[in-house]
Amino acid sequence: MPQFVIEREMPGAGKLSKDDLKGASQGSCDVLRELGPEIQWVHSYVTDNKIYCVYRAPSEDLIRKHAQLAGFPANSIALVRATIDPTTAE
């Protein structure tokens, strides 16, 4: 299944409390259950003013639908073309 990286501009994201992050995660998971198994949240990286999320989905449109229903911004969505790591150099 295609994998996407979503950039969410969220000023102050790095200052969100553990409870805030838990609540956001629960809201996201609620919407994912509604949308069905075609869309999966892999993980996210929280930085000072943005959250970068990795999702698996058949289309960018489904990613946007999730963002809209969950109330999260999706400022950019990029299809992952390849994954590399230190073993790629071998």
pLDDT digit string (tens) for 70-90? Answer: 999 999 999 999 999 999 999
Evaluate whether residue 27 is within a structural domain.
yes
Evaluate whether residue 90 is within a structural domain.
no
The total number of structural domains in the chain stands at 1
For the entire predicted model, the pTM comes to 0.92
- Whichever domain contains 20, its CATH number is 3.30.70.3090
What is the pLDDT at residue 42? 97
Evaluate whether residue 28 is within a structural domain.
yes
Residue from 58, 64, 90 nearest 77 by CA: 64
User: Which residues constitute the domain of residue 65?
Assistant: 3-84
Evaluate whether residue 30 is within a structural domain.
yes
Per-residue pLDDT of 29-56, as tens digits, reads: 999 999 999 999 999 999 999 999 999 9
What is the pLDDT at residue 68? 97
Evaluate whether residue 89 is within a structural domain.
no
Q: Which residues contact 54 (CB under 8 A, 6 or more apart)?
A: 3, 4, 5, 6, 41, 42, 43, 44, 80
